[in-house]
Amino acid sequence: MEQEFYLGLAQRVRVIAERADPFTRRRLLDLAKRYDAKGRPASRSGATERPLPTPRTTPPASIFSGPGEA
pLDDT, tens digit, 9 for 90 and up, residues 5-38: 999 999 999 999 999 999 999 999 999 999 999 8
Can you tell me the distance from the alpha carbon of 9 to that of 3, in angstroms, rounded to the nearest whole number? 10
Percent of the chain, pLDDT > 90?
Answer: 47
C-alpha triplet 20, 31, 29: angle, nearest 5°: 45
- Confidence band (pLDDT; 50, 70, 90) for 55? confident
Chain Cα centroid distance, residue 20: 27
Q: Across the chain, what does the average pLDDT equal?
A: 81
Ranked by mean pLDDT, the top range of 33-37, 51-55, 57-61 is 33-37
